[in-house]
Chains A and B, each alone.
Chain A
Amino acid sequence: MPDIFINPPPSPKEKHRASGHSHNPLTAYCYLPDKVNFETRESEEKVVLLLRQHPITLVPKALMAVLMILAPSILSVFPILSFLPANFQLIVVLGWYLITTALILENFLTWFYNVYLVTDERIVDIDFYNLIYKEVSDANIDKIQDVTYKMGGVVRTVFNYGDILIQTASEVPNFEFLAVPRPDKVATVLQDLRIEEEQEKLEGRLR
């Protein structure tokens, strides 16, 4: 059956006015991101949502990092390292800063590369557990069976973030988007994409 009407892609102006659209590569919620690309993306596949954990989840780690940075100056009041020769004291402090750097870098990279993507064809979950282990899983939109989102607690309500549980009929039965901003909007976007996919199936369109 020929296509009678296909939604035109949003113009750049419309796209930039869309709520949640951002050009910041460090954003935790981006609707229709501009520069996002991933390894298994097909040429015509369009990324609709880019999600990460809400930045507020980084606050305890950031506080820890600040404490670790300040620790040598604070502890210099107490003669903890006085039994060591001066050159060893210097190297111990440098070593401490190396450990601090490693901790900050690992925490940042884990947050930055733990990305959930929603495209017009599928959902992609990129899990970066630590520096030597990553996992990438995806499921087609039409395989989604159920979408549940939950928000609970004071901090999550104030900063508007929560978990989204997606049950699928694919090889990976459950997708969990943890601590993502605006879970209600994400669920709505997923619902819209599912309806669109159903429509495409009924009309026999490929995309």
Chain B
Amino acid sequence: MIPILGISIWAVAKGFILVAFFLYIIFSFVVVRQIQLMTETLEVGFETQLKILSYLHLAFAILVFLAALIVL
């Protein structure tokens, strides 16, 4: 791809993708926090599984961010 003003379009795309994935990490952190708060509001005996799910989701988001950082 031809660089515009000396900047490769793929470098710009990489920047946008990394910002998007970083925002997703923040979103998954909000999910973790919200599940913690909802657990205090309501207990039905499924809290541990939900908390594990939210942490796995956060880990997945971080892994994808790192993968993008390395692969791109």
Contact = CB atoms under 8 A, between A and B. Distances in A.
B30 interface: yes
Interface residues of B, number: 31
A132 B30 contact: yes
Given A38-B42, A39-B40, A126-B41, A85 B10 contact: yes
B45 interface: yes
B52 interface: no
A132 B42 CA distance: 16
Contacts of B36: none
Interface string A104-143: 0100010011010000000000101001101010000000
28 contacts: A25-B45, A26-B46, A34-B45, A36-B42, A36-B44, A38-B41, A38-B42, A39-B40, A39-B42, A50-B44, A87-B71, A91-B17, A91-B67, A91-B71, A91-B72, A94-B64, A94-B68, A98-B24, A98-B60, A98-B61, A101-B60, A109-B38, A113-B42, A115-B44, A126-B42, A128-B38, A131-B27, A134-B38
